[in-house]
Chains A and B, each alone.
Chain A
Amino acid sequence: MAYSDKVLDHYQNPRNVGTLDKNAADVGTGVVGAPECGDVMKLQIKVAKDGTILDAKFKTYGCGSAIASSSLATEWLKGSTVDKAEQIKNTQIVQELALPPVKIHCSVLAEDAIKAAIEDWRKKQAAHTDAAAQKA
């Protein structure tokens, strides 16, 4: 299968591989996919109080397109805001990486990972706010 130059670039020089502290209050973690399906993505964001995404990290088990999709996602997330990040659509990833039809599921997974990470962060925020409210 021929990969686009952008997929090859992300595969060979993945951006933002790594791990953030999943227990930290300002970190949201999303893990999507399953080993038996051939891809698992872990995507993490570190968010400032004003909703700015300060950092994003990923780890992916999957084909080159899955790795590239998550690597690209972290690039887009860093410096963005949670509200903007929620608007990212898999079709944008497909377009940017020129993914063929059989690899569209990789972009879907990346979108799911972004949403899961944001949801996790929001839950933590809510819990935090609740705890603060109770204290007060």
Chain B
Amino acid sequence: MKTPVYLDYSATTPCDPRVVERMLPYFTETFGNAASRSHPFGWTAEAAVEHAREQVAELIHAHPKEVLWTSGSTEANNLAIKGTAEMYREKGKHLITAITEHKAVLDPMKHLESQGFEITWLPVDRQGRVDLGQLAAAMTEKTLLVSLMAANNEIGTVHPLKDIGALCKQKGVLFHTDATQAPGRMDLDVEAQHIDLMSLSAHKFYGPKGVGALYVRRKNPRVRLAAQMDGGGHERGMRSGTLNVTGIVGMGAAAEFARTEMAQEIERLRRLRDRLEARLLRGIPDAVINGDREHRLPHLANVSFPYVEGESLIMGIKEVAVSSGSACTSASLEPSYVLKGLGLGDELAHSSIRFSMGRFTTEAEVDFAADRVIHEVTRLREMSPLWEMVQEGIDLSQVKWTAH
């Protein structure tokens, strides 16, 4: 086993070697510009792009013409949100999202807010789910878009897409979902789930970085977008720019593997994740699993280790690559807004670690990670005044702290 062990698949995944193999010829041999109509170099590139479009469409049960290439999910989210807002502003200037969305959704929304749009920021429950009644109540005749993610990147909570989609359809509101974390890990079906716009990113499912897609519904209703990138009119005028043929070929291949191998992969990931969680809970008193235990991505575990601070824990388990729910490494010293959004106390949010497993994770790696974490949490607790107080029977919530 090689260290550090990679358990941060939700941040990014390695390219699957099979994906790389399919991409290689497009760097050197089949290097044409997919927009060149006058020679075979362009035609073969275009054919490869269209094949990839079919592969991605198949993953989400869409028509290939509804798939639009972008540089990733951030661009797809920006285009979906700002593009619809600009296009449908006559209808009304109201959009709905939730507080636990990725920054790539929250920030375009904030941008629109500064432009005079009205945004409803839905809260979530302790599991990270929005209340459908609250969502329905927030919709008005002026609402043009609801944007709710398929699955949360920090805690893995899965939203009931089908119910949200049906509600939006019934109220005549467009539904966008940021599905960045979802491919290969949960079912995506734009028809059954009534989705009008969906953002995808290749590098989250074993494709290359720098390529993504936006699904844009073509029928019932036909969704139109105001382009956010002007130029040569590529991608039906909605996203200009020479296509990243190599990356697109890679994303297509990655989508194919994600679709065909999903069933076994979900089972395998869930077993690994459950194994990790069971070991951690057994080895560490008072450890807490965050998020929704039932409606959750199969590969992700977000765990709080009370009385130990997350950044120091990550520092101690340097043979294991994970991410901290607390953003102490930035200047803000703020714990994760997602965990705070769940109503987790700041100290639990400060003590949380996200483990995310993937295609190349082994049982031995999971066991190694669990052992390292247990060892380090135990060591840090011996050093923790909070742990000492709790052992003495002191209720930490009753202590008068000197906030700084």
Contacts and interface: CB of A to CB of B under 8 A. Distances in A.
A binds B: yes
A5 interface: no
Contact of A14 (B328, B330, B383): B383
A14 B384 CA distance: 12
B137 interface: no
A40 B396 CA distance: 12
Contact of B383 (A37, A67, A109): A67
Nearest to A12: B316
17 contacts: A17-B382, A31-B402, A32-B402, A35-B386, A35-B401, A36-B346, A38-B309, A38-B328, A39-B309, A42-B385, A61-B308, A63-B309, A63-B312, A67-B312, A67-B383, A108-B404, A112-B404
Interface string A34-51: 111111111000000000
A31 B392 CA distance: 16
A7 B205 CA distance: 37
Contacts of A112: 402, 404
Interface of B: 307-309, 311-312, 315-316, 326, 328-331, 333, 335, 345-347, 350, 382-388, 396, 401-404
Contacts of A101: 331
A33 B333 CA distance: 13
Interface in A47-75: 59-64, 66-67
B329 A1 contact: yes
Contacts of A109: 404
B333 A37 contact: yes
Interface residues of A, number: 32
A76 interface: no
Interface string A7-43: 0000100100101000000000001111111111110
Contacts of B312: 11, 62-64, 66-67
A99 to B, nearest CB: 13
Nearest to A3: B315
Interface in A83-136: 101-102, 105, 108-109, 112
Contacts of B386: 35, 40, 61
A64 B317 CA distance: 12
A72 to B, nearest CB: 14
Contacts of B347: 35-36
A35 B326 contact: no
Nearest to A32: B402
Nearest to B397: A35
B329 A34 contact: no
A63 B401 contact: no
Contacts of A36: 345-347, 350, 401, 403
Nearest to B346: A36
